[in-house]
Amino acid sequence: MSDPAGWQDRRVLVTGGLGFIGSNLARRLVGLGAQVTLVDSMIPAYGGNLRNVAGIEQRVRINISDVRDRHSLRYLVKDADVLFNLAGQTSHQDSMTDPGADLEINCAAQLSILETCRAHNPGVKTVFASTRQIYGKPDYLPVDEKHPLRPADVNGINKMAGEQYHVLYNNVYGLRSCALRLTNTYGPGMRIRDARQTFLGIWVRLALEGKPFEVWGGAQLRDFNFVDDVVDALLLAAQSDATDGQIYNLGDSEVLSLREVAELLLQANGGGEYVVREFPQERKRIDIGDYYADFSRFSALGWAPRVPLREGLARTLGYYRENLPHYL
Amino acid sequence: MSDPAGWQDRRVLVTGGLGFIGSNLARRLVGLGAQVTLVDSMIPAYGGNLRNVAGIEQRVRINISDVRDRHSLRYLVKDADVLFNLAGQTSHQDSMTDPGADLEINCAAQLSILETCRAHNPGVKTVFASTRQIYGKPDYLPVDEKHPLRPADVNGINKMAGEQYHVLYNNVYGLRSCALRLTNTYGPGMRIRDARQTFLGIWVRLALEGKPFEVWGGAQLRDFNFVDDVVDALLLAAQSDATDGQIYNLGDSEVLSLREVAELLLQANGGGEYVVREFPQERKRIDIGDYYADFSRFSALGWAPRVPLREGLARTLGYYRENLPHYL
C-alpha cells in the first residue's frame, strides 16, 4: 500500500491503549502498517475494554500495566518512535471523591512518563491527550487556547499540570511533545456503563435499553467530536514537526444544547425518551456552563472534523446495538 | 495590649514554620498574642532552621513533621483557626533534577492538606504562599493576576497546581482559602547556604565572607519584598473575608536590575565585589527574563510594602553578621 503518512513499521506506544480513544487509534494505526503496543491498566472504573480491540488482537501487542509503574514503562517506552499518551482518569466526580488517585494518574504518572522518556528514549515524539476541562467556566466563547486556565475540579487541575509537564519537557529538554485539548469525544468504544468518561455514554446505553435517560440542565451548549476525527487529529499532531511544544484545541463548528443532542440521539435511535432534571448539587459545583472551542489553530495544520453529530450518533448506536453486552 | 487585628489567642498553624517566611510570621504572631504551632520537616535542603525562632522557642509549639504525613497533619490541623500554608520545595533547579520530590511536596501534599482540612476542620481559613514563578516568562510588564500561567520549570507547574487546589476547595467546598503570589522575598532567616531559596541568600553570605559573588546575566529586572512586608500581607490576607477564593500578586514599585541590586548590596555591606557571568546553560533554560508585579489588586485591600530595598538589605546584612555560623 502507499504510505504517504509514513506510519508503515513505525513503533507506536499508546498508553490507555485499550480505552476508548486509544483503541480507535490503534485500529487505524494497524491499518497503516504501524507496530503498535497498547499499554493499559484495565482499572475497572477507567476505559479499558478488550472488546475495543476485537479483530486486531493479533496485530497489536497488548501489555497490561500501570503507567505509574516506572519499571515496566521504561521497558515499554525505550524503542517507541511515537508515544500517544492517552492514559488518564477521566471522571470529574471521581476526582473530587478520590483526589489522590486522580493526582497519581493524571499528574504524577505523567511526570514519571516524561522522565522515563528523557532518560531512555529522548528521541520519541509524544502526543498528550489534554482536555477542555482545564479552562473551567469560560469567560468567552468560542474558547481559544489563550483563554485563562481555571479548572473547576481536581481532574482539571491535574490534567493542566500533566499537559504543562509535556510542554516544559519539550522546551527545556527538547523531548518533542504536544498536547491536544479534547472536547466531548464520543463513538464506538466509549464507556457506556456510567458517565465516567462522557455523559453521552450513559445516554446511549439507556436509549438502547429502552429506558429514559436524564438530561441535567439541558440548555448548556457543547461541541462534540466523533472519535474518528480525534484519531485524525492525533495522527496529524504526531506527524508534524510544527506541533512540538504546542497546545491545540480540538472542537467542532456544530454547537448544540444538551437538549438538542438528546433529541438527535433519540431520532437516531428511532425512539426513546429522556427527562430533564435540575443539576444534582454535587455536580453543579463543578459544572462549567456553556463551552465550545475555537479550534482554528489546529485547523490551520490541515485538520477538520468530518463526521456530523447526527451521523456519529447513528454509527455509535449501531456499534453498541451489536456489542452492548460487552460494555455493561 | 490592644488587639485591633484580633490575633489574641487565635490558634494559628504555620506549615514550613521554621523556614524563612514562616518563622518571621511566627515572631509577629507571638507578639500579637496568637497561639502558634509551627510544623516543619527540617529537610536539610529546605528552609527550616531552629535559629529562626531564637528567643520565641518557649512561646510557640514546634512540631517536626512532614506535611506529606496525613496522620500527624490531621491531628495538628484540627483545632486551627488559621492555617498559613507555607511549606514547600523552593528550588527551581532541584525541581528539574528531582521532579518527583517537588511534586510530592508542592502538589500532592497540598491536596492532602486540603482534604485533611475539609474532613477535620472545614472552618479553618487558609493562606497559601504561591509564587510569581507560575507566570513563566512574562508577556507584558508589570505582570498582573490575569497574565497567562506558563510555568518555566517543574516547580512552577506544581506550585500552580497547589495554588489552584486551594481556590478550588474554596469554591467547591467553602473551605476558605486564598493565595498570595510572592515575588523575590528576602530578609533575616532566609537560606544563605546556597541559592535554593533566593539568589540573594548566597550573595549576602559571600559578601559577608568577603568573597566575590556571581551575578548571572545582570540586566534582568526584578522587584523585591522585605520579609516584614510579606508578613503584613499574610496577616491581612488571613483577616479579610474578601480574600476568600482570591489570588493576589505581591510586589514592589521599586524595580531594579540584578546588577543594581548587587551594587546596593555592596554599598550596604560597606564593600565587596561581584562578577558578572553568562547564564549557566542549565539555568538559562528555565530563566524567565524580566519580571515585576502589578500588585494593585492586593494594595486595594490596604497593603503596601514599607521597607525600601536599601534598608532591607542593611537589616538583612546586620542579622547575618551576628548570626552567620547558624546559617552555614
- Using a CB–CB cutoff of 8 Å, tell me whether B71 touches chain A: no
Cα diameter, chain B? 55
Q: Is A102 within 8 Å of chain B by CB? A: no
Question: Rounded to whole angstroms, what are the CA distances from A129 to A110, A126, A132, A151, A270?
Answer: 11, 10, 10, 16, 34
Least CB–CB distance from B157: residue in A148, A153, A164: A164
Q: Does residue A223 belong to the interface with chain B, where contact is any CB pair within 8 Å? A: no
Question: CA of B186, closest CA in chain A: separation in Å?
Answer: 28
CB half-sphere exposure, B144, CA atoms < 13 A = 6
Measured distance CA(A269)–CA(A23) in Å, rounded:
25
Which three-class secondary structure state does DSSP give residue A325?
A: helix
What the block records as the C-alpha cell of A110 is: 505523567
CA distance B163 to chain A (A): 10
Q: How far is A164 from chain B (nearest CA, A)?
A: 7
Q: Compute the mean pLDDT over every residue in chain A, rounded to the nearest whole number.
A: 94
Condensed to tens digits (0 to 9), the pLDDT of residues A224-256 reads 999 999 999 999 999 999 999 999 999 999 999
Q: Among candidates A131, A138, A91, A130, which has minimal Cα distance to A291?
A: A138
Q: Which three cell numbers stand for residue A314?
A: 447513528
Residue that is written with C-alpha cell 435540575 in the block: A278
The answer to whether the CB atoms of B99 and A107 lie below 8 A apart is no
Residue A1 has pLDDT above 60, yes or no: no
Helices vs strands, H then E, count in chain A: 12, 12
Q: Which residues have C-beta within 8 Å of that of residue B91, sequence separation ≥ 6?
A: B45, B155, B195, B196, B197
Cell of A298: 489546529
pTM, two decimals, is 0.91
Tell me the CATH architecture of domain A11-327: 3-Layer(aba) Sandwich (3.40)
Return the number of other C-beta atoms located less than 10 Å from residue A224's C-beta.
26
Question: Whole-angstrom Cα distance, residue B165 to residue B113?
Answer: 10
Give chain B positions within 8 Å (CB) of A153: 168, 172
How do residues B176-197 score in pLDDT, each as one tens digit?
999 999 999 999 999 999 888 8
Residues from chain A that touch B111, judged by Cβ atoms under 8 A, are: 99-100, 103, 154
Q: Is A160 close to B165, i.e. CB distance below 8 A?
A: no
CA distance B108 to chain A (A): 7
Q: Which residues of A touch B115 (CB under 8 A)?
A: 99-100
- Cα-based angle B35, B36, B41 (whole degrees, multiple of 5): 155
Average pLDDT over residues B271-300: 89
Residue A165 contacts B, CB cutoff 8 Å: yes
Q: How many angstroms away from the CA of B172 is the closest CA of chain A?
A: 6
CB atoms within 10 A of CB A146: 9
**pLDDT value at A198 more than 60:** yes
Alpha helices by DSSP H, chain B: 20-31, 70-77, 92-97, 99-103, 109-120, 154-173, 199-208, 227-239, 258-269, 281-284, 296-299, 309-323
A18 touches A50 (CB < 8 A): yes
Distance CA A277, CA A295 (A): 31
Q: What angle do CA B23, B155, A83 make, to 5 degrees?
A: 160
Cβ of A99 and B107 within 8 Å? no
Distance CA A107, CA B160 (A): 12
pLDDT at residue A291 is higher than 90: yes
Whether the per-residue pLDDT at A186 is higher than 60: the answer is yes
For residue A140, count other CB atoms closer than 10 A to its CB. 8
C-alpha span between A186 and A264 (Å, rounded): 14
Whether chain A has a CB inside 8 Å of the CB on B326: the answer is no
Computed over every residue of chain B, the mean pLDDT equals 94
pLDDT tens digits, one per residue of A99-129:
999 999 999 999 999 999 999 999 999 999 9
CA distance A123 to A79: 10
